[in-house]
Amino acid sequence: MGFSLITTYPAWLLILCVLAGIVFAGILYYRDTDHDFSKLTLRTLALLRGVSVALIAFLLLSPLLKSTSRYTEKPIVLLALDNSASIRMGKDSAFITKDFTEQYGKLAERLSKKFEVQTYSFGDKVTKGMNATFSDKQTNMAELFSEIKDRYSNRNLVALILAGDGIYNQGADPLYVSENAPYSIYTVALGDTNQQKDLLVTRVNHNRIAYLGNDFPVEITLSAYKLSGANSRVTVSSGEQQLFSDNFPIGDQQVTRTFTTRLTASKPGIQRYRVAVSPVPGEISTANNFQDIYVEVIDGRQKILLLQAAPHPDIAALKQAIEKNQSYSLETKMVSDFTGSLSSYSLVILHQVPSLNDVGFQVTNQLKTVSVPVLYIIGSQSNLPAYNNLMAGLSIPQSTGNLNEATGIVNPDFSLFSLSPDITQILPEFPPLNVPFSQYKPGTAAQVLLYQKIGNVNTKIPLILFNQGVDRKSATITGEGIWRWRLDDYAKTGNQFAFDEFFTRIVQYLAVKEDKSQFRVIVKSSFSESDAVEIDAELYNDSYQLINDPEVNIVITDENKKSYPYAFTRTSNAYYLNAGSLPPGDYTYKATTDFAGKSFQKTGMFTVMELNMEAMNTVADHTLLNTISARHSGKMVYPSQLSQIEELLSQRDDLKTIAYTQKRYTDLVSYIPFLILLLLLISAEWFLRKRNGSY
């Protein structure tokens, strides 16, 4: 390691530093001829003081200490082993899990004499070390290459030896991810490429959400290989109850057949159904003879009421957009025919209600007694004074009856909900709406989503705005003609996705019920068994400000009544829990806390879903392994040829130790040895003066 000093100032300034030390020492020790010290002591003290002052003056030049170090790095060879469950589903599983694992470990030991060797295992995640349990539920080969890139970029990595069956069911295509790998890749082909006798549930198509009391379809695809003449039976069950069954006669060496049935959503919550096919003698594995599916059964849809003063094409456009979302049940009526109660709805949409012909006043009067959210759509037949009395966050003084044509400009400061880039891009291109010509006065609590653009003039007049009142949320579309938006969306894109999503976002924001509770627990309804169960919690004081002073505890209970107690960790102003991975099954939880003399608790449930992806494909893909090796100057070998990789590496003359030079710059004022030297000089001067009786 070498050292040198550098500075950005001219070198002649060093002379001034030395002169400063000489002058300072001269003034202090040669200002008169009457001294208490001997000449030797005097000269020593002057030297110490001069050097100290010169060094301190030198620090004013901001010098840097340049250190140069050299080190070498041996060629790095990585050994990666596929740790997924598909490895032990082949006929050679006993050999791989014992003999091959030992041989692979010994290969690493032999290579470590010449190379720097690191070992990894990969499956649903990448771990360091050769973890040969073969229990991972998924295979993400792409993550292995991403991990190598992150860890060994710009290092002397020369080769990767990858042992696996070539099957991946998670992540990107490993051919694509490894495309620019700067190292050689050698592969060891495990597993069997021959299709064995097997019967499996290939795929189950089903609804993720169903509504209580409704039927939902289930489509089951079964495959059978080399089981000609056998007979099986497919069943669908929930717990101990069998819901569907049918015979599956296998008449050929390779058969794929699809069964369809309809199930009834009879209970709310996450419901687990098992699709199974009865085993047949001679199967290589029965782990793929079933699949569990999970359906969230929702207890009732949100009811939306759309009232119109008169027939209008806007109604059809809104109806088609809202009814695409199965979470909503839309009821459309003429306002003159409505005699029900508004309180039974999650959202009321009023199209030109109240109107000029005095229709709809019984509805607006009822609105004053309920807190249901409202979406107002203003048009040429709207009674603006009556609308202004509804305190919807916008006042539109009575106009002359003239209408303007206004397109929409997205307000970048709107924060109530987000819009996708596709929507924000296409909204200004939609045809104009017909809006009243008047002076618009938004309320202080209103937030504008779209401003009006009249001709080529951008205004601050609201086209669509939202208001949060004391007891209700409301929104106002200040023009009619939104049916043209849906037609224009189809003309531009060939579909109405942007229009439908835009109005779905509006409806979702208005119809969602606000949680007014002070203690809240946020958790997903389902996790896969490879996921960590993460739960958030929030606690509010009486002013609805987030706090996290008291401790929050939670008890998670599984189907066997076994309890797992946890304590939440505090974040900046809330709570967070990572309970790790849990076994598949249904779980309930109870979270509790105490604050200001009150006890709070929240209960709920979630499901951990079993993964069975590794059993869906047991045929090894050696073509993929061979292609990866061929593209990266490597070779694919079989377990019995493992020694060939060692020979190939030893024959390469490009695998050499690399020497690196590293330069480092450090401020001299931060360099500890220099500060110690300066302290020693000052201390030595003080000691000599004290020793000779001076101050």
Domain parsing of the chain, residue ranges? 2-69+665-691, 75-191+619-651, 198-298, 302-511, 519-609
pLDDT digits (tens, 9 = 90+) for 247-302: 999 888 889 999 999 999 888 888 889 999 999 988 888 888 988 888 888 776 78
556-588 core/surface letters (b: 16 or more CB in 10 A; e: else): bbbeeeeeeebebeeeeebbebebeebebebbe
Q: Percent of the chain having pLDDT more than 70? A: 97
pLDDT in tens, 507-534: 988 988 776 788 999 998 888 888 889 9
- Do domains 75-191+619-651 and 302-511 share one topology? The answer is yes
Kindly indicate the confidence band of residue 56, based on its pLDDT and cuts at 50, 70 and 90.
confident
What's residue 63's pLDDT?
86
Quote the mean pLDDT of the chain. 87
Q: How far apart are CA 689 and CA 695, in angstroms?
A: 6
What CATH number does the domain located at 198-298 have? Answer: 2.60.40.10
- Find the range with the poorest average confidence among 96-110, 404-418, 503-517: 503-517
pLDDT at 35: 56
Determine the pLDDT at residue 208.
Answer: 82
Question: What phi and psi values does residue 386 have, to the nearest 5 degrees?
Answer: -65, -35
Band (664; pLDDT cuts 50, 70, 90) = confident
* Full-model pTM: 0.56
Which residue in the block uniquely carries the two structure tokens 């649903």? 124
- CB-CB contact of 416 with 373 (8 Å): no
pLDDT tens digit sequence for 626-663: 999 999 999 999 998 998 998 999 888 888 888 777 78
Q: How many CA atoms lie within 13 A of 160 on its CB side?
A: 23
Confidence at 134, pLDDT banded by 50, 70, 90: confident
pLDDT at 573 over 70: yes
pLDDT score for 44:
85
CATH class for the domain made up of 519-609: mainly beta
Of 42-46, 333-337, 382-386, where does mean pLDDT reach its minimum?
42-46
Average pLDDT over residues 210-219: 85
Name the band, by pLDDT with cuts 50, 70 and 90, for residue 2: low
Q: What is the mean pLDDT of residues 485-500?
A: 91
Averaged over 70-81, what is the pLDDT? 88
pLDDT on residue 340: 86
Q: Which of 604, 602, 536 is nearest to 572 (CA)?
A: 536
What CATH number is given for 75-191+619-651 in this structure?
Answer: 3.40.50.410
Higher pLDDT, 518 or 66: 518
Poorest-pLDDT segment among 476-490, 582-596, 677-691: 677-691
d(CA 278, CA 195): 20
Q: What is the mean pLDDT of residues 538-556?
A: 91
616 CB-near residues (< 8 Å, 6+ apart): 169, 200, 202, 288
Compute the distance between CA of residue 627 and CA of residue 176 in angstroms, rounded to an integer: 11
pLDDT band at 31 (very low <50, low <70, confident <90, very high): low
Give the model's pLDDT for residue 1.
60
What is the third-level CATH fold of 302-511? Answer: Rossmann fold (3.40.50)
User: For residues 404 and 452, what is the distance between their CA atoms, to the nearest angstrom?
Assistant: 10
- Distance between CA atoms of 278 and 286, rounded to whole angstroms? 9
| pLDDT of 34 above 60 | no
- As a whole number of Å, the CA-based R_g of the chain is 38
> With pLDDT > 90 as the criterion, what percentage of the chain qualifies?
39
Confidence grade of residue 97 (pLDDT, cut at 50, 70, 90): confident
Task: State the pLDDT at residue 170.
Answer: 84
Residue 77 confidence (pLDDT): 93
pLDDT at 627: 94
Residue 671 pLDDT? 81
Which residues in 142-289 belong to E strands, given as ranges? 157-164, 184-189, 198-206, 209-211, 215-225, 231-238, 241-249, 254-264, 269-277
Is the pLDDT at 407 greater than 90? The verdict is: yes
Question: How far apart, in whole angstroms, are the C-alpha atoms of residue 399 and residue 439?
Answer: 8
